[in-house]
Amino acid sequence: QKEVEQNSGPLSVPEGAIASLNCTYSDRGSQSFFWYRQYSGKSPELIMSIYSNGDKEDGRFTAQLNKASQYVSLLIRDSQPSDSATYLCAVSQTSEKLTFGTGTRLTIIP
């Protein structure tokens, strides 16, 4: 079983709709959770971090964490073509290391 799992996609969403990205993890001791965005040919950049159960909102982005069910999700409201990218979920079991999922490719259709 992979430690961090994501649906590879591609996930196609119409412009202006809500894009929903999901991630599950296997280690119940995981403490910190991150969403990175990676444009084609570029390096990952952090867009959200979440540490406690519930929702965390930042502009059009909302991260949701449910430790009991071991999943974390990212919602993107009012999706824009510029949101088209691969989204990487990352989970930390220790204070230094991150374990990444393989990423979900998101395409926003104008």
d(C-alpha 101, C-alpha 110), whole Å: 27
Q: Which of 25, 34, 35, 87 binds another protein (CB under 8 A)?
A: 34
Answer yes or no whether residue 32 interacts with another protein by CB under 8 A: yes
Residue (32 or 70) nearer to another protein, CB: 32
For another protein, which stretch binds (CB under 8 A), given 9-17, 27-35, 57-65, 71-79? 27-35
Which of 28, 36, 35 lies closest to 56 in space, CA to CA? 35
d(C-alpha 2, C-alpha 42), whole Å: 25
Residue with tokens 């502009």: 59
For another protein, which stretch binds (CB under 8 A), given 18-26, 54-62, 70-78, 94-102? 94-102
Answer yes or no whether residue 49 interacts with another protein by CB under 8 A: yes
For another protein, which stretch binds (CB under 8 A), given 18-26, 46-54, 59-67, 74-82? 46-54
For 83, phi then psi, to 5°, come to: -80, -10
CB of 15 to another protein, least distance (A): 27
d(C-alpha 25, C-alpha 110), whole Å: 32
For 81, phi then psi, to 5°, come to: -55, -30
Instruction: List residues near another protein by CB under 8 A.
Output: 8, 31-32, 34, 42-46, 49, 51, 88, 92, 95-103
